[in-house]
Amino acid sequence: MPAMAQSVDAKTNEAAEPESLTDGFHLVIDALKLNDINTIYGVPGIPITDLGRFAQAEGMRVISFRHEQHAGNAAAIAGFLTQKPGICLTVSAPGFLNGLTALANATTNCFPMILISGSSEREIVDLQQGDYEEMDQLAIAKPLCKAAFRVLHAEDIGIAVARAIRAAVSGRPGGVYLDLPAKLLGQVMEAEAGRKSLVKVVDPAPRQIPAPDAVARALEVLKGAKRPLIILGKGAAYARADADIRALVEKSGIPYLPMSMAKGLLPDDHPQSAGPARSLVLKEADVVMLIGARLNWLLSHGKGKSWGEPGSKTFIQIDIEPREMDSNLEIAAPLVGDIGSCVSALLQGIDGDWQAPPSEWTDAITERKEKNVAKMSSKLLSNSLPMDFHSALGALRSIVKERPDAILVNEGANTLDFARSIIDMYQPRKRLDVGTWGIMGIGMGAAVAAAVETGKPVLAVEGDSAFGFSGMEIETICRYNLPVCVVVFNNNGIYRGTDVNPSGGPDVATTVFVKDSRYDKMMEAFGGVGVHATTPDELSRAVNEAMDSGKPTLVNAVIDEKAGTESGRIGNLNPQSVVSKT
C-alpha cells in the first residue's frame, strides 16, 4: 500500500499529503517495517520528532527515553536478543553524540544496532557556518562503528536502510550509523516510485559454513585432548544454536565454562559446568575450544598465571570473524564460520569412536566444584545486619532459580562480580550485563529492551553507582508500565562507602555518595512501587511481589558499606603510583 494512503499528520489529525505522494519520513518507516523492524528506541526533537510520531501512527512501537545513551543501549540489547538490528533514533549533534557511546559499545560487543540520527543542513555544516546543532556526524561516527551511511535523496532511503541492516547483522554483528539530513525527511516523491525503491533484505545474515578441512583439524585436536575445556561466549548466546551447543557439550562429555552473558546457555547447575572450578580448568586444561568468545582481557588474553605454564595449551576457536584468530596467541585449529554451522559440523564428528574425557579430569573438576560450592553456600544463608553481598544475592539467587524465564540485568563492581558467580542462570540469553568494556550505564536501557522485546519479567541488580548512570529511565519504565524490578545494592558509593578524603578537607572522598540514600523514593515519584529492604527476607518478599505483579518496582537494598573491595574482582587492573599512598 502506498505509504501515504493510511497516514495522517499526527499533530493535526488531518490527511497529511495526497495519496499519490510519499516523503522521506514515510520511506524510512516503510523501509524498516518492510524488513520486520517494528520498534524504535529514541529521544524526539528537531528534525526527527515527526519521524517518531509517524512511526507510531504507522503501528510501530516507539519507546521514548530520557537520554539517548539509554535508548541506544536498549537498541543494542534488542539486537542481541532478536538477531535483528535494534534501532536508536536521535536528534542531531548532542543527541547523536549521546547515542554514539551506545553505538560504539554495541560494536565492541558485536551486537547489531542502527543509530539513526537527524542532521543539519549539509551545505551549512560543510562550510562550518554555524547551523543549528552543526556537526559532521558521519565523519565522527565512522571510526566507532562497523559502517556509516548518509542518505541525500529520498529514492535512496530503501537501499540505505537495506545496507544498514545487512552491515549490522552479517558476519560479526555490530553497530551501523545512518545519517538523515533534515532536508531528506521532507523530500517528496511519487508513492508508487517510493514503494518500488524499498528493498527487502533477503537472508541478511547468511550461514557461513566452515571448511571441511578446518572441521577435521579441530576434531583431531579435540580427540587428542586429555583435559579438554569448552569456553562459551556471548557470541554463542547470540547465535541461537542452543540445542546443538548443548548436544555438542553432552555428547562429547567435555566440561564447559560460560562467559558471563553465555550463562544459562546450558543451565548453570549442569553437571558438566566448570563455572565453580574456573581457576582449576583454566590452569590445567590442555585443549581449549572457544565458541563465540574472544581471548581479550576478560580471559587474560589467554596468558599469564591463571592459564598455567606458557605454551601448555592448544586452542581451537570458533568465530565468524576470521581476523579474530591469532589475535592474542596462536590458534592451532581456527574454525571460521557461523556457530550453528560449525557446531553442527563438529557434532557429526563426535561419533562412535569418540572417547569421553578421562575421568581423572572430570572427577578433579567435580571435586573442586563441590568444595567451592560448599564454601560459598553458608555465606549465602547469612542473616547478618546490614546485609552483605552474599546474603542479599543468596536471596536473589533463589528467586531466579524459581523464575528461570526472568531476565537478569546486572551492573556495578562488587554487585556485578558477586552476582555473576552467585546467581545461577538456567536459560539462554537471560543475563545482560556490562559486556566487553565493563561499562556502567547499560542497566535501565537493557531492562527496558528486555521487557519490550520479550515480555518477560526483568530483574535489574544494580550497584548504587551503576544505577545512577541511567537512573532517570525509571520514569520510562513507569511510563510504559514495564515489568521491571530494579534492586539497588546501596553501599553508599563506588566499591564501598567507607573512603575518606585523604586531605582531611570538607569534601567527601571521591568514591562516596550521600549516605543512606533512599533510591526507592525515586520510583515512588513516578508512580512505581518503592521498597526499602534491610534483610534478605524483606528483599525476597519485595522482589517476589514485584515479579508477581509486574509493577515497576525499585528495592533499595541496604548493603554493608564496608563489604566491597576496590574495583570488585579487577582491582589488579588499577595502575599503581610510586609517589602518594592515600
Q: CA torsion, points 32, 33, 36, 40, in degrees to nearest 10? A: 60
Please tell me whether residue 438 binds ligand TPW under the rule CB under 6 A: yes
Residue from 28, 160, 466, 531 that binds ligand TPW (CB under 6 A)?
466
Q: By CB under 6 A, name the one of 17, 58, 134, 319 that touches ligand ADP.
A: 319
CB of 263 to ligand ADP, least distance (A): 10
Of 98-106, 131-139, 191-199, 233-241: span binding ligand ADP (CB under 6 A): 233-241
CB-based contact 336:214 (threshold 8 Å): yes
Q: Long-range contact list for 368-376, CB < 8 A, 24+ apart?
A: 368/276, 368/277, 368/280, 369/273, 369/274, 369/275, 369/276, 369/277, 372/276, 372/277, 373/276, 376/276, 376/421, 376/422
Residue placing its CB nearer to ligand TPW in the complex, 149 or 495? 495
441 binds, among ligand ADP, ligand TPW, Mg ion, none (CB under 5 to 8 A by kind): ligand TPW
Answer with the entry of ligand TPW, Mg ion, ligand ADP, none that 438 interacts with (C-beta below 5 to 8 A by kind): ligand TPW
**Cβ closer to Mg ion: 23 or 464?**
464
CB 175 within 8 A of CB 115: yes
- The yes or no reply on residue 464 touching Mg ion (CB under 5 A) is yes
Q: Where does 36-100 show beta strands of DSSP type E?
A: 39-42, 61-64, 86-90
Q: Contact between 417 and Mg ion (CB under 5 A)?
A: no
299 vs 413 by CB, closer to ligand TPW: 413
110: contact with ligand ADP by CB under 6 A: yes
Cβ nearer to ligand TPW, comparing 396 with 440: 440
Q: What is the dihedral of CA 125, 126, 127, 133, to 10 degrees?
A: 10
174: contact with Mg ion by CB under 5 A: no
User: How far apart, in whole angstroms, are the C-alpha atoms of residue 520 and residue 104?
Assistant: 32
Q: Which is nearer to ligand ADP, 56 or 300 (CB)?
A: 300
**φ and ψ at residue 509, rounded to 5 degrees:** -60, 160
**How many C-beta atoms surround the C-beta of residue 186 within 10 A?**
12
Q: Does residue number 187 form part of the binding site for Mg ion (CB under 5 A)?
A: no
DSSP code per residue over 218-270: HHHHHHT-SSEEEEE-HHHHHHT-HHHHHHHHHHHT--EEE-GGGTTSS-TT-
Q: Does 436 bind ligand ADP (CB under 6 A)?
A: yes
Nearer to ligand ADP, 342 or 450 (CB): 342
With binding defined as CB under 6 A, does residue 292 bind ligand ADP? yes
Residue 463 lies near Mg ion (rule: CB under 5 A): yes
CB of residue 456 vs ligand TPW: minimum separation in angstroms?
24
Taking CB under 6 A as the rule, does residue 463 contact ligand TPW? Answer: yes
570 binds ligand ADP (CB under 6 A): no
Encoded one letter per residue, x for contact with ligand TPW by CB under 6 A and - for no contact, window 495-534 reads x---------------------------------------
- Partner whose footprint covers residue 440, from ligand ADP, ligand TPW, Mg ion, none (CB < 5 to 8 Å by kind): ligand TPW
List all residues 6 or more positions away from 447 whose beta carbon is below 8 Å from its beta carbon.
Answer: 409, 458, 460, 477, 482, 484, 486
- Residues within window 386-425 making contact with ligand TPW, judged by CB under 6 A: 412-415
Question: 466 contacts which partner out of ligand ADP, ligand TPW, Mg ion, none, CB within 5 to 8 A by kind?
Answer: ligand TPW
Does position 321 bind ligand ADP by CB under 6 A? Answer: yes
For 179, phi then psi, to 5°, come to -100, 120
Using CA atoms, how far residue 522 sits from 467, 475, 531, 542, 553, in Å, is 12, 9, 11, 16, 10
552 makes contact with ligand TPW (CB under 6 A): no
> Does residue 340 interact with Mg ion by CB under 5 A?
no
578 to 342, 501, 582: CA distances (angstroms): 49, 19, 11
Q: Find the residue with minimal CB distance to ligand TPW.
A: 463
Peptide bond into 143 cis (omega under 30): no
Q: Which residues contact 64 (CB under 8 A, 6 or more apart)?
A: 42, 43, 44, 52, 71, 476
Closest to 463 measured CA to CA, from 411, 516, 539: 411
Site residues (vs ligand TPW, CB under 6 A) = 412-415, 438-441, 463-466, 489, 491, 494-495, 564, 568
Site residues (vs ligand ADP, CB under 6 A) = 109-110, 172-173, 233-235, 238-239, 259, 261-262, 292-294, 296, 298, 319-321, 324, 338-339, 436
